[in-house]
């Protein structure tokens, strides 16, 4: 299936992507209490922190997600927590991007990454999905790699550790504090992208 942004380009449909002052920020995760504190739900955790700092209520069901709307630095902000489960996250991202008429550079996706040390974050303007199934779905549905993402490091699986257990298994108590700080750092990075632009946000956060 041709992705959303590819379809728009191919059809030359007017009006799509005109909302330059609107940002859709999506945190990837799985719904349900059993996943709440797992490494795979770092996107959700960052969105919750961002919602608190901006005073946005994210309890409205829409786009196969829970969403909330508000403003930040004079720009419209849409916070999205897909409820499709991770492997179909792209459906929610595409629906929100289409509805709010945003260009791809105003879609910010936050997610966990096993290839980054636990507690670190990285901002990228574009790129592939790596091994992350949620991002594979997002790239497939949007039809482009050209959108910002904030990757939250959760660390690689240890020797003999199953990858699935790594991302959705129980996290030791001492590591939760590290992940909480990383989620807060990711939320701050998302705010900086909106307020200051991605170049400044990258220079502020990627060296940490």
* Active-site residue set: 40
Burial 69-101 (b: 16+ CB within 10 A, else e): ebebeeebbbbbbbbbbbebbbbbbbbbbbebe
The HSE-up count of residue 202 (CA atoms within 13 Å, CB side) is 9
Query: Which residue(s) pair with 112 in the sheet?
Result: 152
The 3-state secondary structure of 59-115 reads CEEECCEEEEEEEECCEEEEEEEECCCHHHHHHHHHHHHHHCCCCHHHEEEEEEECC
State the Cα–Cα distance between residues 26 and 73, nearest whole angstrom. Answer: 18
């Amino acid at each position: 299936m041709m992705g959303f942004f590819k379809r728009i380009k191919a059809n030359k449909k007017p009006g799509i992507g005109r909302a330059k002052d609107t940002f859709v920020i999506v945190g990837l995760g799985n719904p349900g209490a059993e996943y709440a504190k797992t490494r795979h739900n770092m996107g959700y955790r960052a969105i919750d922190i961002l919602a608190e700092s901006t005073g946005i209520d994210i309890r409205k069901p829409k786009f196969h997600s829970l969403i909330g709307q508000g403003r930040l630095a004079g720009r419209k902000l849409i916070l999205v927590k897909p409820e499709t489960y991770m492997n179909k996250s792209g459906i929610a991202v595409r629906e929100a991007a289409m509805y709010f008429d945003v260009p791809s550079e105003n879609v910010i996706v936050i997610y966990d990454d096993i290839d980054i040390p636990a507690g670190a974050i990285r901002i990228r303007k574009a790129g592939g999905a790596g091994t992350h199934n949620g991002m594979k779905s997002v790239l497939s549905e949007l039809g482009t790699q050209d959108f910002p993402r904030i990757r939250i490091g959760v660390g690689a699986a240890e020797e003999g550790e199953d990858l699935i257990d790594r991302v959705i298994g129980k996290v030791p108590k001492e590591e939760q504090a590290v992940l909480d700080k990383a989620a807060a750092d990711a939320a701050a990075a998302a705010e900086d992208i909106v307020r200051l632009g991605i170049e400044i946000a990258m220079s502020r956060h990627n060296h940490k």
